[in-house]
């Protein structure tokens, strides 16, 4: 990687040219590229996130006339949770049932730690909702 970025810095090209634009882009995001390439778990694109947003896009016209801003916000939160649950290979119906059965029994929902325990990637949730 060092050789590539050194090479990018050494090039003398017109700034507005396609190669110049590509080199500027590479150098601008050098830290990001190094991070992504050093960790095999990181992905190079956000295609998964964009596909997950398809549900929202498909329903946009249906939600255009939400009764309130809070209702629209609640819908967005629920859909985000469901898409994240799908991404973590949970049965979304089991997950929502689990949330609705267990969250009301919590002493408080004001603590971040309490809510974090119910996120789709938590081991307890994965066991209960696969």
**CA distance linking residue 105 with residue 8, whole number of Å:** 58
% of the chain residues with pLDDT over 70: 95
Q: Which stretch of 43-47, 87-91, 93-97 has the lowest confidence by average pLDDT?
A: 43-47
Decide if pLDDT at 62 tops 70: no
**Chain segment 1-60, per-residue pLDDT in tens:** 899 999 999 999 987 899 999 999 999 999 998 988 888 887 778 887 787 777 767 777
CA distance 108 to 114: 8
Q: pTM for this structure?
A: 0.57
Per DSSP, the residues of 49-83 read: HHHHTHHHHHHHHHHTT-S-HHHHHHHHHHHHHHH
């Amino acid at each position: 990687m060092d050789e590539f970025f050194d090479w990018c810095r050494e090039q003398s090209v017109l700034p507005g040219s396609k190669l110049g634009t590509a080199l500027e882009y590479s150098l601008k995001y050098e830290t990001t590229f190094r991070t992504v390439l050093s960790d095999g778990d990181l992905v190079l694109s956000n295609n998964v996130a964009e596909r997950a947003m398809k549900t929202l896009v498909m329903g946009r016209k249906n939600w255009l006339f939400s009764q309130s801003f809070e209702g629209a916000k609640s819908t967005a939160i629920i859909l985000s949770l469901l898409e994240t649950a799908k991404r973590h290979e949970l049965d979304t119906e089991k997950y929502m049932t689990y949330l609705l059965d267990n969250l009301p029994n919590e002493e408080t929902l004001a603590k971040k730690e309490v809510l974090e325990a119910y996120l789709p990637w938590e081991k307890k949730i994965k066991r209960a909702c696969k």
